[in-house]
């Protein structure tokens, strides 16, 4: 990587790390947040839904609103919103204020990653653009491996508000780094009309639908991972952060594995992985009471679940043709819509009497729905390819 690009790319990666941490760390802090604010676990779980809905609907809206701004200015505005939102989370006097602050923070998520990808690509020669974008997005992966378990440990030791203050500091450091190192004049604009026209293809929307359902499965389970580990698996609360750290390593492996499979045979690989996700989750319902087996299953689940994410992101961008930027933003939005639906589905099931032991099986059932959508996409793609190969008039 070019030396001139290394520092601004590191600042972009640090910002992505903060964004990923603030999204996911709440799952490790659910019991503390619920106890401090006087709400139940299902209500605390909806804080995940609120953030995800903010990303799903606010992200594309902000992307459109900032499309005409210079990309450098848009990046700083979005990162400033992220900093203020996390500070508001730390200062929230009650559940309603915390929910509102989470939603405001979420608005910058998808838009920042979209603008940041364009800027990252502009920092390096054309032959290194994919690596530059991957380096920035690597901050999100690092958040699952380091940010979430470290944030959970900090929240358990010093209170959940301290975690949000720490993320605020991360945002301020990233802001300062970009202010110092991001070169001026690194501006790239998009033709939104051309991008919108390119999104007419049915396979693009099928891919986005798979993202929604696969993410719903993932977060039906992942949102409640802390109470599942403590109440079902019998893991000591002080050991939960360690288990999450090991799970984060699995997520990182899955991200790299999914990227390799996306370059090989994306849709068949996706079908096989989703089937594995479903089987692992259903199997967790039977072995989850044994801490060691539960940890092993969680690692395997992390690998296959995040392999799904990498493949779907590649598919969305590849199938959009001339609209890769908008497709990437929409896929992030679709993924986060699934986050909200998964957390909400889990909360609904728990309030209707489903025991915590039933959450993994419920998530597994949703994964089978994603598998059915993938099979439909494979059929549609093959028919379209056959039609394109068929000579006119034959």
The domain that holds 92 is classified in CATH as 1.20.1250.20
Long-range CB contact pairs, 261-269, < 8 A, 24+: 261/307, 261/310, 261/311, 262/310, 262/311, 262/314, 262/315, 263/314, 266/311, 266/314, 266/315, 266/318, 267/315, 267/374, 267/377, 267/378, 267/381, 268/378, 269/311
Going by pLDDT thresholds of 50, 70 and 90, the confidence category of residue 394 is very low
Residue partners of 67: CB distance under 8 A and separation at least 6 = 189, 190, 192
The arithmetic mean of pLDDT across residues 99-120, rounded, is 84
For 327-366, give the DSSP string: HHHHHHHHHHHHHHHHHHHHHHHHHTT--GGGHHHHHHHH
pLDDT of 191 > 50? The answer is: yes
pLDDT of 2 > 70? The answer is: no
Cα gap 325→335, rounded to integer Å:
15
The arithmetic mean of pLDDT across residues 291-313, rounded, is 83
Q: What is the pLDDT of residue 387?
A: 58
Q: Could you report the per-residue pLDDT of 368-377, keeping only the tens digit for each? A: 999 999 988 8
- Say if residue 346 is exposed, middle or buried (CB neighbours under 10 Å; 0-12, 13-18, 19+): buried
Domain interval for residue 370: 190-394
Q: Are residues 5 and 144 in the same domain?
A: yes
Q: Are residues 184 and 275 in the same domain?
A: no
Q: Are residues 204 and 165 in the same domain?
A: no
The arithmetic mean of pLDDT across residues 15-41, rounded, is 87
Q: Are residues 200 and 150 in the same domain?
A: no
DSSP state for residue 126 in the 8-state scheme: G
Q: Are residues 184 and 194 in the same domain?
A: no
Answer whether 273's CB lies under 8 Å from 307's CB.
yes
Decide: pTM greater than 0.75: no
Q: Could you report the per-residue pLDDT of 236-268, keeping only the tens digit for each? A: 777 777 777 777 777 777 767 776 776 677 788
Lowest mean pLDDT among 106-120, 164-178, 357-371: 106-120
Q: Which two tokens stand for residue 45?
A: 């779980």
What's the structural domain count of the chain?
A: 2
pLDDT of 294 > 90? The answer is: no
Q: Are residues 327 and 238 in the same domain?
A: yes
**Residue that is last in its domain, among 172, 189, 206:** 189
The arithmetic mean of pLDDT across residues 173-201, rounded, is 74
Q: Are residues 82 and 98 in the same domain?
A: yes
Answer whether 295's CB lies under 8 Å from 250's CB.
no
Q: What is the pLDDT of residue 167?
A: 95
Residue-level length of the chain = 394
3-state secondary structure of 187: coil
**Residue that is last in its domain, among 130, 160, 189:** 189
Q: Are residues 200 and 125 in the same domain?
A: no
Q: What is the pLDDT of residue 276?
A: 92
**Residue that is last in its domain, among 189, 223, 252:** 189
Q: Could you report the per-residue pLDDT of 50-63, keeping only the tens digit for each? A: 887 888 788 778 87
Name the average pLDDT for the chain. Answer: 82
Q: What is the pLDDT of residue 17?
A: 93
Q: Are residues 170 and 221 in the same domain?
A: no
Q: Are residues 177 and 197 in the same domain?
A: no
Q: Are residues 138 and 194 in the same domain?
A: no
Provide the CB-side half-sphere exposure for 292 (13 A, CA). 0
Answer whether 143's CB lies under 8 Å from 24's CB.
yes
pLDDT of 132 > 50? The answer is: yes
Give percent of the chain with pLDDT exceeding 90.
24
Q: Are residues 16 and 104 in the same domain?
A: yes
> 10 Å Cβ neighbour count for 304?
24
pLDDT of 381 > 50? The answer is: yes
With b for 16 or more beta-carbon neighbours within 10 A and e for fewer, the 46-68 pattern comes to bbbbbbbbbbbbbbbebbeebbe
Q: 79: alpha, beta or left, given left = phi > 0 and alpha = psi -120 to 50? A: alpha
Higher local confidence (pLDDT), 74 or 391: 74
Higher local confidence (pLDDT), 212 or 135: 212
DSSP state for residue 60 in the 8-state scheme: H
Higher local confidence (pLDDT), 134 or 46: 46
Cα gap 329→154, rounded to integer Å:
31
Cα gap 349→219, rounded to integer Å:
13
């Amino acid at each position: 990587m070019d030396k001139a690009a290394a520092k601004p790319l590191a600042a972009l990666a640090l910002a992505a790390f903060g964004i990923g941490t603030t999204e996911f760390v709440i799952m490790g802090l659910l019991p503390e947040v619920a106890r401090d604010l006087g709400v139940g676990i299902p209500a605390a779980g909806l804080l995940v839904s609120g953030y995800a809905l903010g990303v799903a609907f606010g992200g594309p809206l902000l992307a459109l609103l900032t499309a005409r701004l210079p990309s450098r200015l848009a990046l700083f505005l979005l990162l400033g919103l992220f900093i203020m939102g996390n500070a508001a989370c730390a200062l929230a006097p009650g559940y309603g204020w915390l929910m509102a602050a989470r939603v405001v923070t979420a608005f910058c998520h998808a838009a920042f990653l979209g603008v940041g990808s364009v800027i990252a690509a502009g920092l390096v020669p054309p032959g290194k653009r994919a690596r530059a974008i991957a380096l920035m997005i690597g901050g999100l992966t690092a958040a699952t491996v380091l940010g979430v378990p470290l944030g959970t440990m900090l929240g358990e030791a010093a209170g959940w508000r301290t975690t949000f203050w720490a993320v605020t500091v991360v945002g301020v450091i990233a802001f300062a780094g970009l202010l110092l190192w991001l070169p001026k004049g690194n501006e790239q604009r998009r033709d939104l009309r051309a991008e919108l026209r390119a999104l007419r293809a049915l396979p693009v929307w099928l891919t986005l639908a798979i993202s929604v359902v696969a993410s719903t499965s993932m977060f039906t389970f992942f949102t409640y991972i802390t109470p599942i580990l403590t109440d079902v698996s019998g893991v000591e609360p002080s050991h939960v952060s360690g288990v999450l750290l090991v799970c984060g390593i699995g997520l990182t492996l899955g991200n790299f594995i999914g990227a390799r499979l996306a370059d090989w045979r994306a849709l068949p690989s996706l079908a096989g992985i989703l089937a594995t996700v479903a089987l692992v989750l259903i199997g967790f319902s039977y072995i989850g009471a044994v801490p060691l087996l539960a940890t092993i299953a969680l690692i395997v689940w992390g690998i296959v679940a995040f392999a799904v994410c990498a493949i779907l992101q590649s598919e969305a961008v590849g199938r959009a043709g001339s609209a890769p930027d908008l497709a990437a933003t929409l896929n992030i939005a679709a993924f986060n819509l699934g986050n909200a639906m998964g957390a909400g589905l889990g909360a609904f099931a728990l309030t209707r009497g489903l025991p915590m032991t039933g959450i993994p099986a419920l998530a597994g059932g949703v994964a089978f729905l994603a598998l059915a959508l993938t099979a439909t996409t494979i059929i549609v793609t093959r028919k379209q390819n056959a039609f394109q190969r068929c000579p006119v008039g034959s």
